[in-house]
Amino acid sequence: MNHLLLLIVVFLIFSANKSGAQFGFDLLIKSDAFFFTIDPFGNVYLAESGAIIKIDQSTGKKKYFSDPMYGNFEIIDSSDPLNIIAFSAGLGIIVFLDKNLVEKESFSAQKDLFSEKPELACNSQLEGFWVYYPEKWQFFRINRKNQVLTSTISMNKLEYNFAQPCFMIETGSRLYVSDYENGIFVFDLFGGFLFKIPLKNICTFQVKDNYIIYFTKKHLCLYDFFLHKERLFLLPENEIKMGRVHYPYVYIHTKQGIKKYFTKIELF
């Protein structure tokens, strides 16, 4: 009996070391945000109750932006902290904000181009921004003069199945698009299709070098799409809504809010 008890204790200690011991709790940001993201400087952005909130990583001070004309914001792209995109999918409006969350300009992607509202939007490092129009089955890169710079082919003409994109981001001179049912599609900056990453049931994600970073309800996952290898890290939380990595920190959206952990292990 004593030997059995000892084995159970050793197993529990080993399990703890394999999960929570890899991450140390740092702070809690109380929020019921629909969406959140992190910019390259570690500042946190929340889409919450029709407003955009920026939390400075060094001081904790908050900045706010809201406008009833724009409704709720479903997506924030802070990959360029000087040109932040806030996207209201319900109204098809893209708002450009500066680093202080002051509005620079807005763009009605339904009124100015096509009859249907776009479903997705993200920034472009080359020029302008990307939007997805389901009526066309295409992604368009558009400049600030409302001119189409480039576009992909119709996605229903690809040899791969394509159904419903739920998230996209441009990074490393590539556009990455997640189709929840079929995987992540990768394009160059001129709309040329490059390849598909066979990761299904994923919506929001990050890209670092050749890694796709995403979260499940319990795990942080790193998928190397060159080597086709995946590493999973058990997190000290359950029922995770979404997460972000700003190495060496991991931000996890839980029922209590956004929890920040520091990693005790090397991820990359």
- 108 domain-assigned: no
Helix (H, G, I), strand (E, B) or coil at 96: strand
Strand partners, 29: 258
CA distance 260 to 245: 10
33-60 pLDDT, tens digit per residue, is 999 999 999 999 999 988 999 999 999 9
| Residue 256 · residue 28 · CB < 8 Å | yes
pLDDT confidence of residue 149: 93
CB atoms within 10 A of CB 130: 28
| Residue 160 · residue 185 · CB < 8 Å | yes
Q: Quick one: average pLDDT of 127-148?
A: 91
Kindly list the distances between the CA atom of residue 39 and the CA atoms of 6, 46, 74, 82, in Å, as whole numbers in the listed order.
47, 11, 17, 10
- 249 domain-assigned: yes
- 253 domain-assigned: yes
| Residue 115 · residue 133 · CB < 8 Å | no
Vertex 152 angle, CA 157 and 155, to 5°: 30
- 20 domain-assigned: no
151-201 pLDDT, tens digit per residue, is 999 998 888 899 989 999 999 999 999 999 999 999 999 999 999 999 999
Share above pLDDT 70 across residues of the chain, in percent, rounded to a whole number:
90
- 236 domain-assigned: yes
Task: Give the total number of structural domains in the chain.
Answer: 1
CA distance 268 to 95: 34
Task: Write down the mean pLDDT value for the chain.
Answer: 89
Parent domain of 260: 208-268
- 93 domain-assigned: no
- 125 domain-assigned: no
244-263 pLDDT, tens digit per residue, is 999 999 999 999 999 999 99
Owner of token pair 């996890």: 252
- 64 domain-assigned: no
